[in-house]
Structure 1
Amino acid sequence: MRRLAWPLILLLPLLAGIHFFAHEQAWEQRREYRRTLDAGYVLPSRFIRVFALEHKGVMANYLLLKTMNFYGDRVMHQEQLSEEDWHYIVSSLDAVTDLDPRFLDPYIFGVTLLTWEAGMIEEANRLLEKGMEHRSHDWQMPFFLGFNHFYFLQDFATGAEYLMQASRLPESPNFLPNLAARLSYYGQRTGSAIVFLQTLLLQTADEGLRASLERRLLALQRADLIEQAVARFKDEQGRLPEKAQELLEGGYLEEMPEDPYGGQWVLLPGGRVFSTSRFVVEPEPDLPQDLE
């Protein structure tokens, strides 16, 4: 038995190497396949209703889970979503909310994904407007519509109107009336965006989306920290700093906080802070085959 054991022990590293090589080759083939794979077609909801019969809620849950898995798979493997992918997600969420228009999860998933990740503000607003129609008791629908108008569209007056509408609905947070007044007076402020993201995080159960929102929240909190230092500098010096280094030299910041997206902070006119990363995760570049 001992004579047989030694050859097996020597053979194990070779078998492990073959397994690792085969695994890498299979993974590369899968990546190439996913790059060329279309997102798929979503049947119009009027046909899905016929197939679902009396199980429309079950079908809505299934379609939403399928959509979330589609997005999660792309993110997990660091694959950028194409324009067709995003339109598939929009169509799928539209079908889900047609089947069950009172279903909260697709509205939260949609407003998170379509605004922050895809920049599809109009599509997100259309989804939220449907939510307002069918969830008229829910303060979250006008709340997120207000934020989208305020932050992304820079339509402060409309944003404030939506927030005031949300503040009049049952169980809405007490801070909404003051926030609406603040937004209509001050306009676009990083600190207010932090409030919105914190509220959105409370409603988000998907771990992948939570991780994305938490990173963006951290980036905004650090930008807000720098903006507060800029405001103190202006109050004391009577001018805005020209470079971020002046904040360190003057003791307004102990250290420059890192951008969690890896960018560099830039001071803009008016005291705003900008990051060269634009708060976007850059995908890892594909390595040449001889280096993989």
Structure 2
Amino acid sequence: MRRLPMAMIVFAGVLSAFVYAWAQQRLSGLPRATAIPELLISLPRFAQVLMAGGDRYLAANLAGFRVLVADTSRMSAEDYAVQGKLQRDIAWFNPAHEDNYYIAAAILPWNGQLDAAQYVLRRSSEARTFDWYPLFQYGFLFYHFRKDPATGAQWLLQAVPRVKTQQDEWALQNVAALWIEKGYQTANAAGMVEAMAADSPPGAFRHYLQVRARRLRDLATLQNAVTLFRERHGRGVETLQDLVSSGLLAELPKDPLGYGFGLDASGWPMLNATPSSTK
């Protein structure tokens, strides 16, 4: 790698100092009553690289140090906005920066900086192809904050080839199956879980996925029956047993996992969250 001439390094240092002084002067008059010292200024990316002698990796580490030493117990929304900007910058300088994506996942989305967290995790997942954790965290942001479990599940499945142990692979597939159940129409979710089971090695985990797919098929049957009941009677069912009494079903399905099926507040069939008898 060619080294920069000394004159260029000196020029970069002088220019960086000028930019820093100019930024301080421009920002000194702005009201920042709650901003903490570590996060007072977020310089443009080119200025940060110049101050690091043209080394973008050093620029990432310098910005990362500012994030690491910030006292989050005293931070305001304004401070978190600056932190989000800094962490975006770090991800741009060095997308493989490990501390940056850990901090982004743990702090930013919980403090109003969801877009910044997604940017950091997406860049990290593309750079750290050996690491499944950024993809897991990226998927979680869709599940929890975007209220989009279907998209979250897709990102979890992309992380599966990166795991090193069978236990981690099964864990990711299991969580993805749960999110798929929440994010897709029931029949489509059953098909996706069946496909996951077919791609899994023979054994207990494949059987577990097949069981989950079967109960989703049973749930879809109940939902279709409730739709027909409403069309015929102009009202919803009061209990699932109404589907048997009306002749739409010969019997109610038995949940192989023991949780059973129930009705939500609108009278729509659902999987029970806790083990109970079928209503």
TM-score scaled to structure 2, two decimals?
0.49
Structure possessing the higher radius of gyration over alpha carbons: 2
More RCO (CA 8 Å, sep 6+): 1
